[in-house]
Chains A and B, each alone.
Chain A
């Protein structure tokens, strides 16, 4: 570590430690919220904060941008490599709702703004100027100007996909479903006699939906996870422990460095 960069690292540690410490409490609160909320059966879930577990069913035709898989939900990020590691330059997710079905009923989930813990299905790295068509097309269509600039270096593409039939855990706010008739691509397919069984199954699920689960206005915790409740709680427990322990350590390191520099009269601006 070069001596001239030390003030920068010490200052960063001073601030980041406090942020880490505060985040540790937030993570601990989320963990408690999961532990305190019993899993509800979908047919009888009450409005407000709910925890459900069930099988994912797509509501509309969604295709993952990188892999081209048919899915219910996707999330992608593109990172560029710098000296300090990977920096995310673009994030995106599908906004289309999907169904979650247990053995008692069906709920619709609006995934927008959810904290998703889904394993990466695709993770590939390429030189920015020699991108395969699926990534190049996506970059041209979606990535920001900054993203386009980063194409000269190494890029990492990651995609998380939630496919129909997978089991998920959802903690979010249940709201009554608005009574409306939605004309989607399914109706067109049904009218033309294409893929009738799938469409009619989706329409049945649409009619059976008892409520919509989304990010709440008062309670912002909204989690969609492939992990079980137990393993999610364990992860959050480790995370909060790490943040509560490392946060103060980082701040103390930064503070100690500045105090040493101050007491020895070697402040960076006095050189």
Chain B
């Protein structure tokens, strides 16, 4: 083999390695991003489960004090049921918003029961649920950041070419329900 040919072979070798390597790095990056979305979603689920587990304790602590607030308990139970039945992201987002509103209402009504407000286990549960709510909000934001990065990447060149081969579709954002944007209306039960 002529030295010039060897040199050209090396140039072509580097060009092929470089192109294949770059393509693979885009492919791996997109796969990693897709898995990150699934992971971020699963991380929200972990917190939803934790909140779900705290609710029966909250209900059993408050039932004795708030006997006249059947509607509030029903709303909470209905929201829990909707969350358990939700199968996709929009349904999940809607049910999650419904439960957050029901909880907000619940704690607002609980304010008018001084005995309940003095109960240590209620206070502990309230603080624990508020903490989980904040963490859920953070993780929703994190999930949306991950989805936005993925959606942007699969539409930008040169990633769009690899995304096209892989038939990757834009992922859905976790959007707030329309009623989450409205003011919360609190209704107290009439005494007697």
Q: Do A40 and B142 touch (CB < 8 A)? A: yes
Q: Do A44 and B7 touch (CB < 8 A)? A: no
Of A44, A248, A260, which one neighbours B135 at CB under 8 angstroms? A44
The answer to whether the Cβ of B151 comes within 8 Å of any Cβ in the partner chain is no
Tell me which of A31-39, A110-118, A120-128, A223-231 binds B: A31-39
Known: A36-B29, A44-B142. A255 touches B7 (CB 8 A): yes
Q: Do A38 and B146 touch (CB < 8 A)? A: yes
Of B7, B17, B33, which one neighbours A36 at CB under 8 angstroms? B33
Residues of B within 8 A of A260 (CB): 3
Residues of B within 8 A of A248 (CB): 11, 14, 18
The answer to whether the Cβ of A95 comes within 8 Å of any Cβ in the partner chain is no
Chain B contact residues: over half helix, strand or loop, or mixed?
helix
Of A37, A44, A48, A259, which one neighbours B134 at CB under 8 angstroms? A44
Q: Closest residue to A210 on the B side, CB-wise? A: B135
Of B7, B136, B149, which one neighbours A259 at CB under 8 angstroms? B7
Interface size on B, residues (CB 8 A): 31
Q: Closest residue to B144 on the A side, CB-wise? A: A38
Q: Do A25 and B142 touch (CB < 8 A)? A: no
Q: Do A36 and B36 touch (CB < 8 A)? A: yes
Residues of B within 8 A of A259 (CB): 3, 6-7
A58 to B134, CA, bound (A): 27
In the complex, per-residue mask of A19-30: 1 if CB is within 8 Å of any chain B CB, else 0: 001000100110
Known: A44-B135, A255-B10, A262-B3. A38 touches B142 (CB 8 A): yes
Residues of B within 8 A of A150 (CB): none
Residues of B within 8 A of A25 (CB): 21, 25
Q: What is the CB-to-nearest-CB distance from A247 to chain B, in angstroms, rounded to a whole number?
A: 8
Of B22, B138, B149, which one neighbours A43 at CB under 8 angstroms? B138
Q: What is the CB-to-nearest-CB distance from A55 to chain B, in angstroms, rounded to a whole number?
A: 18
Q: Do B25 and A251 touch (CB < 8 A)? A: no
A28 to B18, CA, bound (A): 12
The answer to whether the Cβ of B74 comes within 8 Å of any Cβ in the partner chain is no
Beyond A36-B149, A252-B11, A259-B3, 10 extra complex contacts between A and B, CB < 8 Å: A21-B17, A28-B22, A32-B25, A33-B32, A36-B29, A36-B32, A44-B138, A244-B18, A252-B10, A255-B6
- Contact surface of B with A, Cβ cutoff 8 Å: 3, 6-7, 10-11, 14, 17-18, 21-22, 25, 28-29, 32-33, 36, 39-40, 43, 46-47, 134-136, 138-139, 141-142, 145-146, 149
